[in-house]
Structure 1
Amino acid sequence: MIFINPLLSYAALFFAIVIEVIGTMFLGKSEHFTRLMPTLTCAVFYAGSFYMLAQRIKVKLRGLTPVQYRNQSLLSA
């Protein structure tokens, strides 16, 4: 498993937000998903946004699953 620098994880979060905003702009241009290219572009940007968010969450959880992270937090309290 590859861990990235915490500072880079904030950059990933920033880019995820930017990519999601760009995808949302294409969502309006897709005209209720009736136009193919804007719809595909929107889907690609949303997928990129989810990938970047996953990278940020991976750093936050320090390689643990969400359940393991929660249990660790409960035990230390």
Structure 2
Amino acid sequence: MKIVLPPALSALVERLMQTGRYADEGEVVRAALRALEHQEFDEPLNLESAILSGVHSQHILYDASVLDRVRLNAAI
């Protein structure tokens, strides 16, 4: 398999290798693909689980303090 990257991504691969964490370009690509796999397949399942948990939990009335907490946590 041959992968051609634009200059900005090639530079990123080089910078990542210079950290010493990756031995070669292949390791960088493998790590990136593992992260993409997690983002595409695992995170949506976690989100779905959290939503279902909320749907099945006891109803709580929302007031300004709850909305303030949500806004604060969303800003993190």
Report if TM-score (shorter chain) is over 0.5: no
Q: Where on the TM-score scale, by shorter chain, does this alignment land: which range?
A: 0.3 to 0.5
Normalising by structure 2, we get a TM-score of 0.35
Structure possessing the higher radius of gyration over alpha carbons: 2
